[in-house]
Amino acid sequence: MITTTVAGSLPKPAWLAEPEVLWAPWRLKGDDLIEGQQDAALAWIKIQEDAGIDIVSDGEQFRKHFVHGFLEQIEGIDWQRMTTMGIRDNRYDAQVPTVTAAIKRTGSVHGDGAKFCCERSNGQFKFTLPGPMTICDTIADAHYGGRPEMAMAFAEVLNQEARELEALGVDVIQFDEPAFNAFMDQVPTWGVEALHRAIEGLTCKTAVHICYGYGIKANIDWKHGLGEEWRQYEEFFPALNDSQIDQVSLECANSRVPLSVLGLLRDKEVLVGAIDVATNTIETPEQVAETLRAALEFVDPERLIACTNCGMAPLSRKVAEGKLKALGAGAALLRDELGAN
């Protein structure tokens, strides 16, 4: 009851990449890079466990970018053919690689890193992958001719990867889908269909993470125009509730998302974001507990998982550590109140 986990990334240590910078290039190469990634993952696993986080992750220490870190090892993508494309329904433009042939997974992408972490974590271990819709919104298509078709192709290779991760001991596999907010009308159709293909055959817990976006000025500016209440989730949460996904992750701390939307996920475990990743201010345990208490009006305690709003890669290590400690302590406060400790 009231278990804890993280939504995604954790800061890269200075020996691995420039701190507090999204998608910073590696500072190491070859075997030194692998060793540096392993050391960083080990450090964060220990920090999470010491903070009372029940389901730990590698903090995405084995990749620079949450999408391209997976795509870099997929055939059929031309990284020399960069295309200017509008991201998140033209919220901002970016130079992205181009799919020029049928995509193919030629071997494990994240297996080595996941195996290393599973063997060294004391409890449950979680791994995050990019979701099919978000991949399609982060790469140009010169082969498939349509996003639904390309999404199903990526869902196939994601499923191959996910099955391998599960076999290596991963307890929870989360698919990150921030693009769901930009293409809400398409989530109930091919968005959920692609997710179902990605999780086909899995017996471990599966999750989808959605959020309004962090770390990029275009996301921040876009959110300022959404009004006092962000009710966009109401459009597709019924489809997620009817889906085969086990868990849904969303931001609730200092968010304009009305907690009443959680009531639309009555059949899911809900990862309630109780840590604001857009500020350096470290929450108190009581503030975390208060966010979780408010969520209990709409989510049974057996289904509530305390989480961060999103990844914390842009934050300093000191701030991220403090926020993890607050998350663990806040969840413990609420468990005590409920007589669950």
Single-letter amino acid code for the residue at 189:
T
**pLDDT tens-digit map of 36-94:** 999 999 999 999 999 999 999 999 999 999 999 999 999 999 999 999 998 888 888 88
- pLDDT the model gives residue 214: 72
Q: What is the mean pLDDT of each run of 10 residues along the chain (341 residues)?
A: 96 96 94 98 98 98 94 96 90 92 96 98 98 96 98 98 98 97 94 98 98 73 76 95 98 94 98 96 98 98 97 96 98 94 66
Q: With contact defined as beta carbons under 8 Å apart, do 133 and 188 qualify?
A: no
pLDDT tens-digit series, residues 5-45: 999 999 999 999 999 998 899 999 999 999 999 999 999 99
CA distances from 249 to 69, 73, 208 (A): 21, 27, 6
H runs (alpha helix) in the chain: 30-50, 68-71, 111-118, 132-136, 147-167, 192-199, 217-224, 237-241, 285-295, 317-338
Q: What is the pLDDT of residue 280?
A: 97
Q: Parallel, antiparallel, or unpaired for β 92-105 and 74-87?
A: antiparallel
Return the pLDDT at 215. Answer: 64
Can you list the domains of the chain with their CATH numbers?
A: 3-338 (3.20.20.210)
